[in-house]
Amino acid sequence: MPPESDKIVELERHIETLEQINEGLRQSFEELSQLYRLSETIASAMTFSRVLTLLLEVMHEVVDYEAAVLYLYDERGAQLRPNLEKDVTADLKARFAAQMEDGSLLWALKQGRILALADNRRGRADDAESEEGRSFLLVPIQARGKPVGLLDLAVAAGAGSFSQRDLSLIGILANQAGISLENARLYEAIRRDYTDVIQALAGAVDARDHYTRQHSNRVSLYGVAIARHMRLEQSVIEAVQFGGLLHDIGKIGIPDQILNKPSRLSEEEFQVMKSHSALGAGLLRQVDSLSHLVPLVLYHHERFDGRGYPDGLVGKQIPLGARILNVADSFETITSDRVYHKARSFDEGLAEIKRCSGGQFDPEIVAAFDGVFGELTRWRRGLAELP
Ligand SMILES: [Fe+2]
Ligand SMILES: [Fe+2]
């Protein structure tokens, strides 16, 4: 039997070991939480360019890099092209370029693992940092085993000073970025298809009446210009964009002899014509990804003074997007040729919109339209991009 004092020493050793394990666990937990948070940040990005920007930001929390260049891999040319850079000085630019020229970057990409390169050209005696040196970390970015890009980080530390832990953390984040980039690419492709389909639908409605060709497209463009001027949220701007394209989709269900009647509609015919907003809303309600546009389409003929249709909503009871579309739709109608009138000028259109402010139109929307009108006029003359 060991004496009491030996037992105490042994116990103390155990306690110390336990404390060390505890500390190790605590550290691992903190690292995991950090990794989780950073991965989630990258994963939250919906667009390709946002993932790239976030990757550079997030990496800074893991490696205190001096400068970075992010390359994207061009599969067809089997080349890397610089896409984003951060803090690259003229001196560093040459170093980064040299790695491209001597093939290190493509080689690292092919290897599919992180490479730490010592910066050989440093180390002059008068260089205070030369003892520590600088190195470059070449971090390949892959998605499903395929190269997507490469992150080149200039770090003010020797190539040997990265622990396995640092490298695996960097690797995990690069992988997350690879997956997110792939997702963003798919998402953007789906979005393009979605926009194309909606545009085609809008075109189908406009094509039924040659007087309204491009009508839906322009209503959408004017609506977006107003919504942007009002600094509305991106999701609202997009609803106005797609709602504008589809606002008259219900006209698909209106008979030709009413839709294209060259003379004034009878009261009965007008009632049929008016049903297009409810018909359109009914169509959109059946499509999950379009159902959020129902209020815009259903109420685009409501008037601020309550004398519109189908429900006679008043003022702010009318959804914001529908109030915007009403101004855009009316302005487009006034300024293009119709069966029942000749196109009036942009200035005349604006005067008419202003005249009806507080009557048919929400004064707030009219003010926003007035604010963006100059740019719309320049756009119409082919002098500017749409705001
Ligand atoms: Fe309409
Ligand atoms: Fe319309």
Q: Rounded to the nearest 5°, which phi and psi values hold at 361?
A: -110, 150
Q: Considering every ligand atom, which ligand is closest to the CA of 297?
A: 1
For residue 195, how far is its CA from the centre of ligand 1 (angstroms)? Answer: 20
What share of the chain in percent tops pLDDT 90? 58
Q: Does any domain span residue 305?
A: yes
Whether 196 is covered by a domain: the verdict is: no
Mean pLDDT of 173-185: 90
**Domain count of the chain?**
2
How many whole angstroms from 76 Cα to the centroid of ligand 2?
Answer: 45
175 in the same domain as 138? yes
Q: Give the Å distance between the CA of 327 and the centre of ligand 2.
A: 10
146, 234: one domain: no
> Is residue 218 located within the same domain as residue 130?
no
| Side chain identity, residue 143 | A
| Residue 341 included in any domain | yes
Q: Which of 79-88, 125-134, 244-253, 271-280 has the lowest mean pLDDT?
A: 125-134
**Measured in angstroms, how far is the CA atom of residue 219 from the centroid of ligand 2?**
7
* Same domain, yes or no: 59 and 94: yes
Average pLDDT of span 353-370: 98
> Do 78 and 140 lie in a common domain?
yes
Q: Which ligand is nearest to the CA of 275?
A: 1
Q: Which of 4-18, 248-262, 284-298 has the highest mean pLDDT?
A: 284-298
Question: Does the pLDDT at position 335 exceed 80?
Answer: yes
Q: Is residue 191 part of a domain?
A: no
Please report whether residue 385 resides in a domain: no
Residue 238 Cα to ligand 2 middle (Å): 18
Q: What is the CA(372)–ligand 2 centre distance, in A? A: 20
64 Cα to the center of ligand 1, angstroms: 57
Give the per-residue SS3 of the chain: CCCHHHHHHHHHHHHHHHHHHHHHHHHHHHHHHHHHHHHHHHHCCCCHHHHHHHHHHHHHHHCCEEEEEEEEEECCCCEEEEEEEECCCHHHHHHHHHHHHCCHHHHHHHHCCCEEEECCCCCCCCCCCCCCCCEEEEEEEEECCEEEEEEEEEECCCHHHCCHHHHHHHHHHHHHHHHHHHHHHHHHHHHHHHHHHHHHHHHHHHHCCHHHCCHHHHHHHHHHHHHHHCCCCHHHHHHHHHHHHHCCHHHHHCCHHHHCCCCCCCHHHHHHHHCHHHHHHHHHHCCHHHHHHHHHHHCCCCCCCCCCCCCCCCHHHCCHHHHHHHHHHHHHHHCCCCCCCCCCCHHHHHHHHHHCECCCECHHHHHHHHHHHHHHHHHHCCCCCCC
Q: Which ligand sits nearest to residue 298's alpha carbon?
A: 1
pLDDT category of residue 1 using cuts at 50, 70 and 90 = low
Is 280 within 8 Å of 260 (Cβ atoms)? no
Residues 283 and 218 in one domain: yes
- Are residues 233 and 118 both part of a single domain? no
CA of 386 to the centre of ligand 1 (A): 23
CA of 284 to the centre of ligand 2 (A): 16
Same-domain status, 150 and 240:
no
Contact 116, 159 (CB under 8 A): yes
Residue with tokens 């499509």: 287
Residue 170: CATH number of its domain: 3.30.450.40
Judgement on whether residues 138 and 263 belong to the same structural domain of the protein = no
Residue 354 lies in a domain: yes
pLDDT at position 66 over 50: yes
CATH number of the domain where residue 222 is located: 1.10.3210.10
Specify if 216 maps to a domain: yes
pTM (global) more than 0.75: no
CA–centroid distance, 227 to ligand 2, in Å, is 17
72 with 8, same domain: the answer is yes
Tell me what pLDDT residue 383 has. 67
Give me ligand 1 centre to Cα 372, in Å: 23
Query: 65 CA to middle of ligand 1, Å?
Result: 56
Interval between CA 244 and ligand 1 midpoint (Å): 10
Q: Do the domain assignments include residue 348?
A: yes
Ligand approaching nearest to the C-alpha of 273: 1
Average pLDDT in the chain = 89
**Do 372 and 231 belong to one domain?**
yes
- Please determine, for residue 129, whether its predicted confidence score (pLDDT) is greater than 50: no
In which domain, by residue range, is 318 found?
208-380
- CA 95 to chain centroid: 33
Whether residues 261 and 324 share a domain: the answer is yes
| CA–CA gap between residue 138 and residue 174 (Å, rounded) | 11
Q: How confident is the model at residue 119 (pLDDT cuts 50, 70, 90)?
A: confident
Question: Does 131 have pLDDT greater than 90?
Answer: no
CA–CA gap between residue 317 and residue 323 (Å, rounded): 10
